Amino acid sequence: MSEKTDIIDENSELYEHHRVIADPGQSLLRVDKFLYNHIANVSRNKIQQAAKAGNILVNEKQAKPNHRVRPGDVVSVVLVYPPREIEIIPQEIDFDIIHEDEDTIVINKQAGLVVHPGHGNYSGTLLNGLAFYFQKTGQKIENEFGYLVHRIDKDTTGLILVAKNEEAQTKLAKQFFDHVVDRTYHALVWGDFDADEGTIEGHIGRSLKDRRQMTVFPDGAYGKRAVTHFRVLQRFGYVTLVECKLETGRTHQIRAHFKFIGHPLFNDARYGGEQILKGTTFTKYKQFVQNCFKLIPRQALHAKSLGFVHPSSGQTMHFESALPNDMQQALEKWDGYASHQKSE
């Protein structure tokens, strides 16, 4: 019996998790051959790559390719796949590289940059830019444009990690699967909070009314488990700056979770944050908020920090990214407004 589940919804085209239970009549068989026989459209080399990275488990324990599967054994594997077959044309695109070595590249992504080609965005993406960069610098990357291990939304700024070879991608994928990658986000959300910290739980899945939007299903009848931890960084009265730490990594998780608890991200048009949701009816206040919207014409979300274990050296890597100018300017305006309100 076999089953397949996506590991991380935001990366559902990047990773697959297969779980196979060996039949009672199963003869002793190498685990790599066993998985090759049970998983369609996968190469023996990819399975061996997964084993080398520690991504094959037999009865919850890591297994080498020559491990013999016995009747009743539970075999699971994390496999990594590239995005759908789309031609990646090298294009010169500016992006901020904050770290690079033989296996990894960490980029501080700007707002408006799509990570990889897809429906409606077949060019001008980060991968197009990486293809040009690798070509320009004479780097011989196996697939010419790098290997994604996670994604962030087009209008979300901040840190994104890309592998330079399939082995590094496979090892990093296991870290995402085990939820040991340390990622924090800063978000400006509508409203104030009673407590200084909290946890949002609720399954997330695609909206049954709008496929472009994710919805929280608190009863767990639909979607996948999602957990977001947050703490308040700064209160401005009608909006609040929070730090978010992801326990899971679903598509639009932070955006959907904060909408669910009544605190949509500031100017997040897809999740209702582009409306004036808190505050007064005074014309001056409305104009103030509209001016803030103009300063940051996107959801106020930034991937602030990223930590992982290097796939070759085993060294713990940690990176921080300063808030982008648009978000910083909006915070300064809110800080000034809040200070003015207190002085009255």
Residue 1 lies in a domain: no
Q: Model's pTM, two decimal places?
A: 0.83
Is 153 catalytic? The answer is: yes
Nearest to 322 by CA among 101, 96, 163, 127: 96
Mention every residue, 6+ apart, whose C-beta is less than 8 A from residue 223. Answer: 203, 204, 205, 206, 214, 215, 216, 217, 250
Domain boundary among 29, 57, 78: 78
Residue 174 falls within a domain, yes or no? no
Domain limit, last residue, from 26, 52, 78: 78
Residue 96's identity, in one-letter code, is D
Residue 338 lies in a domain: yes
CATH code at position 40: 3.10.290.10
Strand ordering across the sheet containing 56-58:
2-5, 15-21, 74-80, 56-58, 61-62
Please answer whether residues 166 and 49 qualify as being in contact, where contact means their C-beta atoms are separated by less than 8 angstroms: yes
Within 10 angstroms of residue 136's Cβ, the number of other Cβ atoms is 10
Contact (Cβ atoms closer than 8 angstroms) between residue 98 and residue 108? yes
Provide the 10 A C-beta neighbour count for residue 26.
14
pLDDT in tens, the chain (344 residues): 444 333 333 444 466 778 888 888 888 889 888 888 888 778 888 888 888 877 888 998 888 888 899 999 999 888 776 555 567 899 999 999 999 999 999 999 999 999 987 766 778 999 999 999 999 999 999 889 999 988 899 999 999 999 999 889 988 988 887 788 999 999 999 999 999 999 999 999 988 888 789 999 988 888 888 999 999 999 999 999 999 999 888 889 999 999 999 999 999 999 999 999 999 989 999 999 999 999 999 999 999 999 999 999 999 999 999 999 999 999 999 999 988 776 65
100 inside domain: no
Range of the domain at 219: 183-303+324-343
CATH number of the domain bearing residue 243: 3.30.2350.10
Same-domain status, 74 and 187: no
**DSSP code string of 204-215:** EEE-SS-TTSEE
Both 67 and 203 in a single domain?
no
- In this structure, what token pair is assigned to residue 285? 């206040």
> Of 52, 78, 104, which marks where a domain is finished?
78
191 and 339 belong to one structural domain:
yes
148 is a domain residue: no
- Whether residue 332 is found in the same domain as residue 202: yes
pLDDT for 82: 56
Q: Is residue 7 one of the residues assigned to a domain?
A: no
pLDDT recorded at residue 5: 39
Tally of domains in the chain? 2
Q: What is the 3-state secondary structure (H, E, C) of 25-51?
A: CCCCEEHHHHHHHHCCCCCHHHHHHHH
Residue 278 lies in a domain: yes
The pLDDT assigned to 324 comes to 97
Residue of 32, 153, 268, 326 marked active site: 153
- Residue 8: its pLDDT value, please? 35
Q: Is residue 34 part of a domain?
A: yes
pLDDT value of residue 62 = 84
